[in-house]
Amino acid sequence: MFPQLNPASSSDRVLSSSQNKVLRNTYLLLAATMVPTVLGAWVGISSGFSLFAGSPLISFILFMAIAFGFFYAIEKTKHSVVGVYLLLGFTFFMGLMLSRLLGFALGLGNGAQLIGLAAGGTGVVFFSMASLSTVIKKDLSSMGKFLFIGVILLIVASVANIWLQMPALMLTISLLAVVIFSLFLLYDLQRIVNGGETNYVSATLAVYLNVYNIFSNLLVLLMALFGGSRE
């Protein structure tokens, strides 16, 4: 007379609900990170901020030290509201770092259009990867180590190009960065969907970094290929 509860089915529903909550909170926090990013970029452009005004190598080391300091602090506090505030602070810092690129783009005759195109292209990539992460059944976890190696190689090539100053290498790095971080975005989103990431602060940080790098490198490519003369 009474329906039998399937323990496995009940457990699956609980797990699915938890995964959906992490994914929903990740998307909401990701949207919130855009505010301090834009604010940081505006402050940087208005003030002429540039961390790379001095020695490029020293500036790069300083940037990495600050970024990894944020990573460590966010990871340590990811289960509290402090982690959220630190993440928002980090995105403000990344907005500051983006201001030099945006300022250069705005100095071009069609710079505003290129920034809009880069933002639109990033949005297309994001929604495409978000859709794929829910329909691809194959586990992509094995991709992680190869993508991480790819990021390390990109960093090494970027540091080398500080001295080489080769435009062709810069464009190659940006093109590969768009591809690698697009795949990293798919990888990170699938981890959330499949329950591999259970903390929305950590998930948001990973997705934000992917989106940030896709946008910035896509803008570099668009400026190189379609940038007008400087005003």
Reported as a single tens digit per residue, the pLDDT across 57-73 is 888 889 999 999 999 99
**Is the pLDDT confidence value at 1 over 50?**
no
Copy the structure tokens of residue 66. 């600050």
Copy the structure tokens of residue 71. 């990573």
**Is the pLDDT confidence value at 3 over 60?**
no
Find, among 226, 223, 225, the residue nearest to 104 by Cα.
223
Local confidence band at 146 (pLDDT 50, 70, 90 cut-offs) = very high
| DSSP reduced 3-state for 109 | coil
> Is residue 31, in this structure, part of any structural domain at all?
yes
Share of the chain above pLDDT 70, in %: 90
Highest mean pLDDT among 8-22, 49-63, 134-148, 172-186: 172-186
Q: Which domain covers residue 202, as residue numbers?
A: 7-226
Determine the pLDDT at residue 151: 95
> Is residue 145, in this structure, part of any structural domain at all?
yes
> Is residue 120, in this structure, part of any structural domain at all?
yes
Residue 55's contacts (CB-CB under 8 Å, 6 or more residues apart) are none
β-bridge mates for residue 108, sequence order: 230
- The beta-carbon contacts of 123-129 under 8 Å, at least 24 apart in sequence, are 125/178, 125/182, 125/185, 125/214, 126/185, 126/211, 126/214, 129/182, 129/185, 129/186, 129/189
Count of structural domains within the chain: 1
Instruction: Write down the pTM of the prediction.
Output: 0.90
Query: Cα–Cα–Cα angle for 22, 98, 189, nearest 5°?
Result: 20
> Is residue 231, in this structure, part of any structural domain at all?
no
Copy the structure tokens of residue 142. 């094995």
> Is residue 1, in this structure, part of any structural domain at all?
no
